Structure 1
Amino acid sequence: MGGGVDPGTGPVSIPQAGPGQEPGSVSAEAEAVVKSYVDDLTLALAQMEAGSMAAVLEALVLAMREGRRVLVAGNGGSSTAAIHIASDLMAASAAPGGTAPQAVALTENIARVTAIANDYSYDEIFSRQLPGWARPGDVLLLLSVSARSPNLVRAAEVARDLGMTVLAAIGDPGELAPLTDRYVVFGQADYGLTEDLHVALGHMAVRVLGGGDACRYRAAVDG
């Protein structure tokens, strides 16, 4: 998304909001967007199919508890959600004196991703990583809004050939849904809502791994 100023224009002046803003002020507009977004997110949560989400979480958590590897992939905002989820899963599954199951975001090594894109094709940035990481029974979790990204579709195809369990959290069934073992659709294909719920899925998985308990900042709990 571009952020430049049109040629021949000076810097854009943003009105300063203050007490008793007029309806057209930035503050009033921002407040309206906040309320609208909260309403949309609340509706997306209400419309989410809990059974489908639970099925995805069950497969994900079971794999972690069995010591299997979980690989996570997505593009754009979903690429950082993949890193967030993998990091949280590793932290939640680590046990003192034990070896934590591996959770890896296929987006986290930019050198590897760009090398594959440069030498082969962007469509293969995830699929070409799978043979080096995956074992039969491992899990591939795909995050997407459209569920039509060629690199995710290709990854799902290769993962199935490798005997992996393929899961997806998507904003639309697209082309991915038929290639998965389990999937959940949420966020009404809205980029913001779907990507918010990607992270929520990871946090739900962490809570399941923790026995259902909320993970709160200790100082807040201790008072």
Structure 2
Amino acid sequence: MDYRVDIQAYIEHEINTLRALDINAINDAIRLILETYEKGNTIYIFGNGGSSATASHYQNDFNKGISEYTEKKFNFYCLNDNVATVMAIANDIGFEEVFRFQLRGRIKPGDLVMAISGSGNSKNVINAVEYAKEQGNQIIGLTGFDGGKLRKLSDISLHAPIQSMQVTEDIHMILDHLIMAVLSERMCGINHIKEVELV
């Protein structure tokens, strides 16, 4: 079997989606993340399925990746990472509350929420976002497809305009590394992008 046509098609979808990203929104998101960091506030991040792994990856890239080189540390808090807590809430209260419950009584003025949902309609994500907005906190929403409810609720929308969960999740990870790379260079003088000459 020859899969080259399929491979090329997937790559083209990635490239076209990247080209369609809203650079102004990404710039605004970087500014808000940095502002939250400078104030010493917490950035809460969460998502379901593959997006939960993405959320955990963001936490790692900021709490260790950048913070390794800064005296003041980022304070990302991934609501997916305590499996026992997530499962207890899901079992005893309901899966739709796994994120909102963790924000109740914890989120403070100036804290930032980064919510990830490919469809933009995950009930547990929306519940947490609506609660955070009620408390006066700002939302960066990462979505795909038509963006769903999350896109409308977000103060800053990082939207992958494509009808594909796979490409959407790819783009969300690229945004993590893009933001990390930009801030690493600006804050620490570390350039993570070095072009390699193909042999």
TM-score, structure 1 as length reference: 0.79
Aligned ranges 1:197-216 → 2 under 5 Å: 197-212=171-186, 213-215=190-192
The AA in structure 1 aligned to 2:150 is L
The aligned residue for residue 74 of structure 1 is 47
User: CA separation of 1:68/1:208 partners in 2, compared to 1, >3 Å: closer, same or farther?
Assistant: farther
Q: Partners of 1:91 and 1:196 in 2: how far apart?
A: 21
Unpaired stretches in structure 1, ≥5 consecutive residues:
1-24
Tell me by how many angstroms 1:66 deviates.
2.5
With over 3 angstroms needed to count, the CA separation of the structure-2 counterparts of 1:91 and 1:106, relative to structure 1, is same
What corresponds to 1:129 in structure 2?
102
Q: Give 1:211 shift.
A: 2.9
- The 3 A distance-change label for structure 1 pair 187 and 193 is farther
SS across alignment from 2:140: strand
User: Which residue pairs with 1:192 in the alignment?
Assistant: 166
Following superposition, the deviation at residue 106 of structure 1 comes to 0.7
Aligned-partner Cα distance in 2 for 1:64–1:203: 17
Pairing of 1:1-223 with structure 2 (within 5 A): 25=1, 28-29=2-3, 31-94=4-67, 98-171=71-144, 172-212=146-186, 213-215=190-192
Q: Secondary structure at the match of 2:172?
A: helix
How far apart are residue 57 of structure 1 and its match?
Answer: 2.2
The percentage of counterpart residues that share the same residue type is 27
Number of aligned residues:
191
Structure 2 counterpart SS, 1:211: helix
Tell me the distance in 1 between the aligned counterparts of 2:13 and 2:81. Answer: 30
Instruction: Single out whichever of 54-63 and 102-111 deviates more from structure 2.
Output: 54-63
Summarize deviations over 1:28-58 as a string: whole Å, max 9, x none.
12x2222111111000011112112222222
Classify the secondary structure of the residue corresponding to 1:215.
coil
- Structure 1: which 4+ aligned runs deviate by more than 4 Å? none
* 1:191 Cα deviation after fit: 0.6
Q: Deviations over 1:93-130 (max 9, x none)?
A: 42668341311111111111111010111111000001
- CA shift digits 1:72-95 (9 cap, x unpaired): 111111110000011101124426
The amino acid that maps onto 1:199 is: M
Shift of 1:187: 4.3
Bigger share in helix:
2
Query: Structure 1 82/196 Cα, relative in aligned 2: closer, same or farther at 3 Å?
Result: same
SS at match of 1:145: coil
1:189 is paired with a residue of what secondary structure?
coil
Separation (CA, whole Å) in 1 of partners of 2:41 and 2:66: 11
What do the CA deviations read for 1:116-147 (whole angstroms, capped 9, x no partner)?
01011111100000135421111110111110
Unpaired segments ≥5 residues, structure 2:
none
Provide the C-alpha distance between the structure 1 equivalents of 2:8 and 2:90, rounded to a whole number of angstroms: 41
| Distance in 1 (alpha carbons) for counterparts of 2:72 and 2:37 | 11
The whole-number CA distance in structure 2 between the counterparts of 1:167 and 1:189 is 20
Report the TM-score, using the length of structure 2 for normalisation. 0.88
